[in-house]
């Protein structure tokens, strides 16, 4: 998309970003919290979607209810992602998330959690009137496999809730609650790469049980040393 098209889509929305040069593959959750605290700034999203000099910070939450996990299939939205399934639900950190914690000390963990709570209320039937579910910080990662992921950085979280929720925008998402065993090979094959990474970090294996990992085909002119 052109910058004008992105502006028409996102308008004046500002999102938290950190310069790409500040990230490494070995970063920990603690490192990300420091980046948010000392380097995080809010810039126009329509510009950041194409600027490889920055990464947008994305809290990416896996919803768990009893032994089931929430999986969403994208029916609309970003055309680069339509048709794929997602194990985690992501959202951008907006200035409102920072303002929400003013007076309680601006601690990065609070900002991330405020973002997740806001996104869940906006996009799902989650009701926080009875209290806010705890959020566990699981891991962090960057992924350069797609044009989308190159301008984002992930904070992977898990939120355990007491009852199943549904998505509000049924024209954009189709939600389903699945046990680990019900996340079949067919579903896994539709996962976006972030969801595949999240699957590995959540369940401790790269693919569902019984599924063989793909290995790259050897070119005809390649030789292998015995």
Taking the C-alpha atoms of residue 153 and residue 40, their distance in angstroms, rounded to an integer, is 12
- Please check whether residue 211 lies inside any domain of the structure: no
CATH number for 65 = 3.90.79.10
Q: Residue 129: inside a domain, yes or no?
A: yes
> Is residue 209, in this structure, part of any structural domain at all?
no
pLDDT of residue 175: 92
Confidence (pLDDT) at 170: 87
Rounded CA gap, 55 and 153, in Å? 6
Does residue 22 contact residue 5 with C-beta atoms inside 8 Å? no
State the average pLDDT over residues 161-187. Answer: 92
Q: Assign 22 a pLDDT band (cuts: 50, 70, 90).
A: very high
- Assess if residue 53 is contained within a domain: yes
pLDDT at 226: 35
What domain range includes position 133?
A: 3-203
Long-range pairs for 104-109 at CB < 8 Å and ≥24 separation?
106/37, 108/32, 108/33, 108/34, 108/36, 108/37, 108/40, 109/33, 109/137
Q: How much is the pLDDT for 177?
A: 96
Q: What is the pLDDT of residue 220?
A: 42
Q: What is the pTM of this model?
A: 0.87
Other CB atoms within a 10 A radius of the CB of residue 190 amount to 14
Domain assignment present for 54: yes
User: How far, in Å, CA of 88 to CA of 103, rounded?
Assistant: 30
Counting the structural domains of the chain, the total is 1
CB neighbour list of residue 78: distance below 8 Å, 6 or more residues apart: 148
Q: Is residue 191, in this structure, part of any structural domain at all?
A: yes
| Residue 221 included in any domain | no
> Which of these ranges, 8-12, 198-202, 215-219, has the smallest mean pLDDT?
215-219
Work out the mean pLDDT of the chain and round it to a whole number.
Answer: 88
For residues 97 and 203, is the Cβ–Cβ distance under 8 A? no
Residue 216 lies in a domain: no
Helices (H), the chain: 3-10, 29-39, 45-48, 95-99, 108-123, 185-188, 193-203
What is the average pLDDT across 96-115? 80
């Amino acid at each position: 998309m052109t910058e004008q098209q992105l502006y028409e889509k996102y308008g004046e929305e500002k999102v938290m970003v950190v310069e790409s040069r500040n990230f490494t593959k070995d970063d920990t959750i603690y490192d990300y919290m420091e980046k948010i605290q000392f380097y995080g700034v809010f810039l126009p999203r329509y510009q950041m979607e194409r600027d490889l000099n920055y990464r947008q910070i994305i809290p990416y939450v896996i919803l768990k209810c009893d032994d089931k996990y929430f999986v969403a299939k994208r029916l609309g939205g970003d055309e680069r992602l339509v048709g794929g399934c997602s194990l985690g639900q992501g959202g951008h950190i907006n200035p409102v998330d920072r303002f929400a914690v003013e007076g309680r000390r601006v601690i990065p963990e609070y900002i991330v959690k405020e973002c997740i709570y806001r996104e869940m209320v906006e996009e799902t039937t989650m009701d926080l009137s009875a209290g806010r579910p705890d959020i566990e910080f699981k891991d962090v990662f960057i992924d350069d496999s797609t044009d989308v992921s190159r301008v984002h950085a992930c904070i992977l979280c898990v939120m355990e809730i007491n009852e199943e929720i549904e998505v509000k925008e049924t024209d954009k998402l189709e939600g389903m609650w699945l046990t680990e065993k019900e996340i079949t090979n067919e579903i896994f094959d539709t996962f976006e790469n972030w969801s595949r990474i999240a699957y590995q970090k959540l369940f401790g294996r790269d693919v569902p049980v019984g599924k063989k990992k793909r290995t790259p085909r050897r070119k005809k002119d390649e030789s292998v040393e015995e």
